[in-house]
Structure 1
Amino acid sequence: HLERTGVRVERNTELVAFEDRTSSVVATLRNSGVTETVCAAYLVGCDGARSTVRHGLNIGFPGGTYEQAFYVADVTGSGAVTRNGMDTTVSAYGFAIAMPVRQSGSLRLIGIVPKAHEADETITFEAIRADVERDTGIKVNEVNWFSTYRVHHRVAERFRVGRVFLCGDAGHIHSPAGGQGMNTGMGDAVNLGWKLAAVVQGRADQRLLDSYEPERIAFARKLIESTDTAFRFITSRSRLVGLFRRYLMPKIMNVLLHTSYGSRAFFGLISQAAIQYRSGPISSGTAGKISGGDRLPYVLTAGGNNFEPLRSLDWQVHVYGEANAEFRAMLAPTGIPIHSFAWSDMAKATGLHRDGAYLVRPDGHVALASPVQEAAAFQRYLAALSLRPR
Structure 2
Amino acid sequence: MAAQTDVLIVGAGPTGLVLALWLTKQGVGVTIVDKNSGPGEASRAMAVQARTLELYRQLDIADAVIDAGYKTPAMNMWARGSHRARIPLVDAGRAVSAYPFVLIYPQDRHERLLVQQLHALGVDVHWQTELLRFEEGESHVTAMLKQADGQEVALTAAYLAGCDGARSLVRHQIGSAFEGGTYKQLFYVADVRVTGIEPAGEAHIAFDQSDFVLLLCYGEKDQYRLIGTVRDERAEHPEQLTFADVGHDAINGLNLKISEVNWFSSYRVHHRVTDHFRRGRAFLLGDAAHVHSPAGGQGMNTGILDAINLAWKLAAVVKGKAPEALLDSYQIERQAFARTLVETTDKLFSFVTAQGGLADFVRTRIAPIFASVAYKRASVREYLFRVVSQTTLDYRDSPLSQGRAGEVQGGDRLPWLPGGTADNYDSLAAIEWQVHVYGEAKADLAQWCAQHGIALHVFPWGPAYEKAGVARNAAYLLRPDTYVALADPEADASTLNRYFEARGVVLPA
The TM-score, its normalising length taken from structure 1, stands at 0.93
Partner of 2:121: 5
Partner of 1:58: 175
Matched, 1:252 2:370: yes
State the superposition RMSD in angstroms.
2.1
Matched, 1:150 2:268: yes
Partner of 2:505: 386
Give identity over the alignment, percent. Answer: 44
**TM-superposed deviation, 1:82:** 5.6
For residues 249 and 269 of structure 2, what CA distance do their matches in structure 1 show? 20
Instruction: Name the stretch that deviates more: 205-214 or 104-113.
Output: 104-113
Within the candidate set 350, 354, 369, 1:232 is matched to: 350
Within the candidate set 52, 60, 68, 2:185 is matched to: 68
In 2 relative to 1, CA 231–342 (structure 1 residues): closer, same or farther, beyond 3 Å? Answer: same
Partner of 2:317: 199
Instruction: Name the stretch that deviates more: 145-154 or 119-128.
Output: 119-128
Within the candidate set 72, 79, 98, 2:196 is matched to: 79
Matched, 1:37 2:149: no
Amino acid at match of 1:46: C
For residues 231 and 387 of structure 1, what CA distance do their matches in structure 2 show? 45
What secondary structure is seen at the aligned counterpart in 2 of 1:304? coil
Aligned pair count reads 390
What secondary structure is seen at the aligned counterpart in 1 of 2:494? helix
For residues 169-188 of structure 1, the C-alpha deviation after alignment (integer angstroms, 9 at most, x for no partner) is 00000001111011101010
**TM-superposed deviation, 1:279:** 0.3
Amino acid at match of 1:264: E
What secondary structure is seen at the aligned counterpart in 2 of 1:19? strand
Amino acid at match of 2:505: S
Is the CA contact (8 Å cut-off) linking 2:213 and 2:251 kept in structure 1?
no
**TM-superposed deviation, 1:81:** 5.7
Amino acid at match of 1:31: Q
Partner of 2:140: 24
Within the candidate set 358, 366, 370, 2:488 is matched to: 370
What secondary structure is seen at the aligned counterpart in 1 of 2:154? strand
Within the candidate set 303, 306, 315, 1:188 is matched to: 306
Within the candidate set 152, 158, 164, 2:282 is matched to: 164
For residues 117 and 2 of structure 1, what CA distance do their matches in structure 2 show? 42
Within the candidate set 473, 476, 483, 1:355 is matched to: 473
Partner of 1:327: 445
Amino acid at match of 1:382: F
**TM-superposed deviation, 1:386:** 2.0
Within the candidate set 401, 404, 411, 1:286 is matched to: 404
Is the CA contact (8 Å cut-off) linking 1:133 and 1:140 kept in structure 2?
no
In 2 relative to 1, CA 306–76 (structure 1 residues): closer, same or farther, beyond 3 Å? Answer: closer
Partner of 2:226: 109
Matched, 1:316 2:434: yes
Amino acid at match of 2:137: R
Is the CA contact (8 Å cut-off) linking 2:195 and 2:222 kept in structure 1?
no
Amino acid at match of 1:355: N
In 2 relative to 1, CA 48–377 (structure 1 residues): closer, same or farther, beyond 3 Å? Answer: same
For residues 385 and 68 of structure 1, what CA distance do their matches in structure 2 show? 49
In 2 relative to 1, CA 308–35 (structure 1 residues): closer, same or farther, beyond 3 Å? Answer: same
For residues 406 and 251 of structure 2, what CA distance do their matches in structure 1 show? 53
In 2 relative to 1, CA 114–72 (structure 1 residues): closer, same or farther, beyond 3 Å? Answer: same
In 2 relative to 1, CA 103–251 (structure 1 residues): closer, same or farther, beyond 3 Å? Answer: closer
For residues 155 and 237 of structure 2, what CA distance do their matches in structure 1 show? 46
What secondary structure is seen at the aligned counterpart in 2 of 1:359? strand
For residues 89 and 152 of structure 1, what CA distance do their matches in structure 2 show? 23
**TM-superposed deviation, 1:136:** 4.8
**TM-superposed deviation, 1:84:** 4.9
What secondary structure is seen at the aligned counterpart in 2 of 1:62? strand
Amino acid at match of 2:341: L
**TM-superposed deviation, 1:325:** 0.8
What secondary structure is seen at the aligned counterpart in 1 of 2:293? coil
For residues 478 and 344 of structure 2, what CA distance do their matches in structure 1 show? 29
For residues 351 and 256 of structure 1, what CA distance do their matches in structure 2 show? 25
Amino acid at match of 2:507: R
Partner of 2:25: none
Is the CA contact (8 Å cut-off) linking 2:208 and 2:249 kept in structure 1?
no
Partner of 2:131: 15
Instruction: Name the stretch that deviates more: 249-258 or 275-284.
Output: 249-258
For residues 294-348 of structure 1, the C-alpha deviation after alignment (integer angstroms, 9 at most, x for no partner) is 0001112543211111111210111111111122223432221221111221111
Amino acid at match of 2:127: R
For residues 219-266 of structure 1, the C-alpha deviation after alignment (integer angstroms, 9 at most, x for no partner) is 000000000000000111121121111122122112222222111111
Partner of 1:219: 337
What secondary structure is seen at the aligned counterpart in 2 of 1:42? strand
For residues 90 and 195 of structure 1, what CA distance do their matches in structure 2 show? 45
In 2 relative to 1, CA 151–82 (structure 1 residues): closer, same or farther, beyond 3 Å? Answer: farther
Partner of 1:48: 165
For residues 243 and 22 of structure 1, what CA distance do their matches in structure 2 show? 60
What secondary structure is seen at the aligned counterpart in 2 of 1:261? helix
| Unaligned stretches of 5+ residues in structure 1 | none
User: Which entry has the higher C-alpha Rg, 1 or 2?
Assistant: 1
In 2 relative to 1, CA 145–387 (structure 1 residues): closer, same or farther, beyond 3 Å? Answer: same
What secondary structure is seen at the aligned counterpart in 2 of 1:300? coil
What secondary structure is seen at the aligned counterpart in 2 of 1:97? strand
Amino acid at match of 2:118: L
Within the candidate set 446, 451, 462, 1:344 is matched to: 462
Instruction: Name the stretch that deviates more: 329-338 or 162-171.
Output: 329-338
Is the CA contact (8 Å cut-off) linking 1:94 and 1:236 kept in structure 2?
no
What secondary structure is seen at the aligned counterpart in 2 of 1:329? helix
Amino acid at match of 1:19: E
Partner of 1:297: 415
Instruction: Name the stretch that deviates more: 372-381 or 145-154.
Output: 145-154
Is the CA contact (8 Å cut-off) linking 1:155 and 1:221 kept in structure 2?
yes
| Unaligned stretches of 5+ residues in structure 2 | 1-116
What secondary structure is seen at the aligned counterpart in 1 of 2:454? coil
